Amino acid sequence: MGIKLGMVGLGAFGRGFANLFMSHPLVDSIALCDREPERIKAFMDLDFWQAKLNHDACGTSYEDMLRTDVDAIVIITQPWLHAPQCIQALEAGKSVYSAVPIISVPDGDEILDWCSKLVDAVKRSGRHYMLGETTYYRPQAMYARKRAAEGAFGEFTYSQGEYFHDFRDLYKVRERRTNSSSGREWLEREKAYDARGCVMSPMFYPTHSVAGPICVTKTHAVKACCFGQRPFEGEDYFGDDPRRFSNTTALFQMSNGGAMRIIEHREASISREMFSIYGTQGTFEGSEAHEGGHNLWIKGHTPTPLSVDEMRDPLPPDVAKAWEGETFQSSYGGHGGSHPYLVHEFVESVAQERPPAINIWEACRYMTPGVAAHQSAQRGGELVDVVDFGDAPE
Ligand SMILES: NC(=O)c1ccc[n+]([C@@H]2O[C@H](COP(=O)([O-])OP(=O)(O)OC[C@H]3O[C@@H](n4cnc5c(N)ncnc54)[C@H](O)[C@@H]3O)[C@@H](O)[C@H]2O)c1
């Protein structure tokens, strides 16, 4: 049986996802919500949307959408809004998909608090939460999880993950995200964080770098040691607070005794979201397509190069067919081709009334290491315990 979906947030990222969600064969109808009415209208006028568009439930009010009979909500609003909006959806009896991260605010304790509130809301509501972490469905992650399931790595000894994203690009992103009603409200709210002496950290958005190692090894971080570097050039972007870092590099002890090295750099000359995993029997080394894409499986000291097609799982044929054609090319290609897989996993999990792969317990393990790492960096590399919310219930 198909599902009725509601989607909130039709900005730069949400627009591409809207087409994918609408066209999924298990979606019977879709309603759209954005505080900027012209962003909804852009879809209402499209011929190929008419068959599934739930006109009555479309509008500028999220609260109104929650009162309709949609089964599930997709949230692709600005990152400081995600967690409270997800809790509202769960409390209204809807399963919910959230763009990454769980929440982005310049206060580590508040991030942990929202994680805890979300875990409680999922337990209380009996509904499901999924984090749309793109790295989870990169071909490299799909391949390494398969090898891990076969036991081909042996024991996991070490992993590394990186997210290099330069502030010169992030400037533009910030400008766009604050240029809307909800964006302008945030500029006001930010002043209260400043007044409390809170500073943003690259480690408050560690999901792209830690998700690969954690989803493959099925271990979690227990202790963090991190070093931070002050900005060299980007005073305008990072501000002049001496506690603010542009680049942070952390080492974590993992729950199996191994180690994970994580890079979150916002002042960088390269762009990369990738990971590598080392075991006693096998090793996977990942590489981005724009860097040559030399992904390797290494066993007995012999490296085997891997193509993207070899690494990637196939989508069910009817789902893949629904996304054929030009309209979908840009959304399909984004972040290692992960977007269609995220959409399929969420829609199928709602239709089958099962927890999604990146449930709230998994998602928290992609967030809490960063909070501990930032604390460690603020204390000059002191060892800090990582908060853990436990395994997803069986
Ligand atoms: N690799 C990745 O996974 C990845 C990449 C890019 C963006 N993202 C995430 O996607 C999210 C969206 O980013 P973006 O660049 O599209 O932002 P954006 O500012 O362009 O779009 C956000 C939209 O949400 C709408 N909105 C906010 N609050 C609302 C409310 N209460 N009701 C209705 N509409 C509301 C805004 O009006 C806006 O149109 C971010 O959280 C970001 O972290 C993830």
Substitution site in 13, 170, 205 for ligand 1 pocket (most atoms within 8 Å of beta carbon): 13
The pLDDT assigned to 93 comes to 98
The string of pLDDT tens digits covering residues 98-142 is 999 999 999 999 999 999 999 999 999 999 999 999 999 999 999
The pLDDT assigned to 332 comes to 60
176 touches ligand 1 (CB under 6 Å): yes
185 touches ligand 1 (CB under 6 Å): no
Q: What is the mean pLDDT of residues 55-77?
A: 98
Query: Does position 261 have pLDDT exceeding 80, yes or no?
Result: yes
Atom of ligand 1 nearest to the CA of 180: 37
The pLDDT assigned to 330 comes to 62
Query: Does position 214 have pLDDT exceeding 80, yes or no?
Result: yes
The pLDDT assigned to 326 comes to 65
The string of pLDDT tens digits covering residues 289-334 is 888 889 999 999 999 999 999 999 999 999 999 998 766 666 566 7
User: Measured in angstroms, how far is the CA atom of residue 182 from the centroid of ligand 1?
Assistant: 10
Atom of ligand 1 nearest to the CA of 133: 3
Q: State residue 106 phi and psi, 5-degree precision.
A: -85, 50
Mean pLDDT of the chain: 96
Q: How far apart, in Å, are the Cα atoms of 170 and each of 92, 108, 175, 238, 337?
A: 34, 21, 8, 11, 22
Q: C-alpha angle with apex 149: 385 to 300, nearest 5 degrees?
A: 95
The answer to whether the CB of 336 falls within 8 A of the CB of 139 is: yes
Q: What is the mean pLDDT of residues 76-98?
A: 98
The pLDDT assigned to 325 comes to 75
Give the pair of three-digit tokens for residue 108.
Answer: 């580590």
CA atoms within 13 A on the CB side of 343: 30
> Mapped to the 3 state alphabet, what secondary structure does the chain carry?
CCEEEEEECCCHHHHHHHHHHHHCCCEEEEEEECCCHHHHHHHHCCHHHCCCECHHHCECCHHHHHCCCCCEEEECCCCCCHHHHHHHHHHCCCEEEEECCCCCCCCHHHHHHHHHHHHHHHHHHCCCEEEECHHHHCHHHHHHHHHHHHCCCCCEEEEEEEEECCHHHHHHHHHHHCCCHHHHHHHHHHHHHHHCCCCCCHHHCCHHHHHHHHHHHCCCEEEEEEEEECCCCCHHHHCCCCCCCCEEEEEEEECCCCEEEEEEECCCCCCEEEEEEEECCEEEECCCHHHCCCEEEEECCEEEEECHHHHCCCCCHHHHHHCCCHHHHHHHHHHHHCHHHHHHHHHHHHHCCCCCCCCHHHHHHCCHHHHHHHHHHHCCCCCEECCCCCCCCC
pTM here is 0.97
Q: What is the mean pLDDT of residues 51-67?
A: 97
The pLDDT assigned to 234 comes to 74
Percentage of the residues of the chain whose pLDDT score is greater than 90: 92
The string of pLDDT tens digits covering residues 339-380 is 999 999 999 999 999 999 999 999 999 999 999 999 999 999
Query: Does position 186 have pLDDT exceeding 90, yes or no?
Result: yes
Give the pair of three-digit tokens for residue 210.
Answer: 């830690």
The pLDDT assigned to 364 comes to 98
170 touches ligand 1 (CB under 6 Å): no
The string of pLDDT tens digits covering residues 234-244 is 778 898 888 99
The string of pLDDT tens digits covering residues 3-23 is 999 999 999 999 999 999 999
User: Measured in angstroms, how far is the CA atom of residue 12 from the centroid of ligand 1?
Assistant: 7
Give the pair of three-digit tokens for residue 28.
Answer: 């019977």
